[in-house]
Amino acid sequence: MVPFGISLSGPAYGQQRGKGCSPALWKVKGLQEGELLPTRAGDRQGDGRKEVKKGFPGWEGVLRAVEMNRKHFCISEGWAMFRVQMDGRYSEQLEARIAVTGSNLCVGLDPRIEKHGNEIGEVERFLEKVVEETVDKVACYKPNSAYFEAMGPEGLAMLKRVIGRIPDDVPVILDAKRSDIGETQRRYAQACFEFFEADAVTINPFMGYDSLEPFLGYEGKGIYLLAVTSNPGSADLQRRESGGRKIFEFVGEFAERALAEQRAVDVGLVVGLTNAAEEVLAGLPDSPLLIPGLGAQGGDLSSLAGSVRSAPNVVNVSRGVLYGDEGTPGARANHYAMEISRAFRGAC
């Protein structure tokens, strides 16, 4: 058995999982003739109809999907694109996704129930549509737990279902900003990574490095530490000096320390676009950046033009994609993805 997993997407994506939809293994002709490739999905067989071609970051081709479980979605009896990829560290998974889509866009899933008649069912249907329309245009998704928590137990159950419907090869950053110590923080880590099955989580690091420890042992996962947020109040603490250095620089040292200690989790940083000045980026290590603030918050992508970084960075847009004035969520996501791409090309 070879250590590859298969990711599927295509016109059949988005069919609701139905009864009898089982997990799957795929036999792919031209890749490993006669061998089964293990996936996270399970134990069923499909058959390949086309030879595959080899290239970075995975092998790509077309197969006929007989039956395939994608978390809570099912693809059945239809042609689907597939990609074969090895599992790896979180930053590698994100980098591979960026390479496949050509997009550094992170779509924030921040549903406002009042815009949907205060009906939780309508919110869930809306988010399904958003993911279906944008999935080929994004590097990752970032559901903000506050919007789901505000809807009570049904909202939290919906959050788990929403994350479950996002294809496995699309990283999910749970924006929870958790912060505590010891056993309490361990429970937060368990909830985020084991119950909700997020790929990465935002963390408030201002209780110190030991507060990060419960998150650092999860293989293939990531955390993003609040370093310089997009609100004006970041000047009250994060951008203040202590001993001739900015507070956010000490947060950056946490990311460097985790790397030096060879922790299982990749540690990135949250840097708001409204405050992502050249001198701020220069004071931070070359770690993955989660950059909110484009769209409704008024961030300017030109601030990234002078930055040369090798780690995979993503720019988050929430309201601008979900509730923008013109077009569909898919069209708005495409607009922002292209705008971000132009800015990142200018930065290189």
Model confidence pLDDT, tens digit, residues 103-127: 999 999 999 999 999 999 999 999 9
How open is the CA angle 179-180-181, to the nearest 5 degrees? 140
Please give the average per-residue pLDDT across 174-195, as a whole number.
Answer: 97
The yes-or-no verdict on residue 45 having pLDDT over 70 is no
Using CA atoms, how far apart are residues 334 and 328, in angstroms rounded to an integer? 10
Residue 128, pLDDT > 90, answer yes
Candidate from 262-266, 279-283, 323-327, 332-336 with smallest mean pLDDT = 279-283
Residue 148 DSSP one-character state = H
Round the average pLDDT of the chain to a whole number and report it: 78
Burial tier of 190 (Cβ tally within 10 Å: 0-12, 13-18, 19+): middle
Beta bridge partners of 68: 75
Cβ atoms of residues 26 and 5 within 8 Å: no
Instruction: Map out the domains of the chain as residue ranges.
Output: 5-85, 90-347
List the structure tokens of 94: 């994100």
Told to judge if 177 belongs to the known catalytic residues of this protein, a careful annotator would answer: yes
Burial of 342 (0-12, 13-18, 19+ CB in 10 A): exposed
Domain 90-347 annotated CATH 3.40.50.720: no
Q: Which of 49-63, 186-200, 204-218 has the weakest average pLDDT?
A: 49-63
Question: In the structure, what pLDDT confidence band is assigned to residue 346 with cuts at 50, 70 and 90?
Answer: low
Rg (CA), the chain: 20
Check residue 5 and report its DSSP letter.
Answer: E
pLDDT at 345: 77
The active-site residue, picked from 71, 129, 160, 177, is 177
The stretch 275-289 carries a mean pLDDT of: 89
**pLDDT confidence band for 259 (50 / 70 / 90):** very high
- Residue 159 parent element (H or E): helix 152-165
Q: Note the pTM of the prediction, 2 decimals.
A: 0.77
Whether the pLDDT of residue 184 is over 50: the answer is yes
Question: Which residue would you say has higher pLDDT here, 307 or 177?
Answer: 177
Which of residues 213 and 234 earns the better pLDDT score? Answer: 213
DSSP one-letter string for 168-223: TTS-BEEEEEE---HHHHHHHHIIIIIIS--SEEEE--TT-GGGTGGGTT-TT-EE
Peptide bond connecting 57 to the previous residue in cis, omega within 30 degrees of 0: yes
Q: What percent of the chain has pLDDT over 70?
A: 72
- Reading the block at residue 113, the tokens are 């129930």
What per-residue confidence (pLDDT) applies to 277?
A: 81
- Percentage of the chain beyond pLDDT 90 is 60
What single-letter DSSP state applies at residue 275? Answer: G
Work out the pLDDT band at 10, boundaries 50, 70, 90.
very low
**Continuous segment of H or E residues that includes residue 249:** helix 247-260
| Amino acid present at 96 | A
Q: How would residue 222 be classed by pLDDT, with cut points 50, 70 and 90?
A: very high
Token pair 């496995």 is at which residue?
Answer: 168
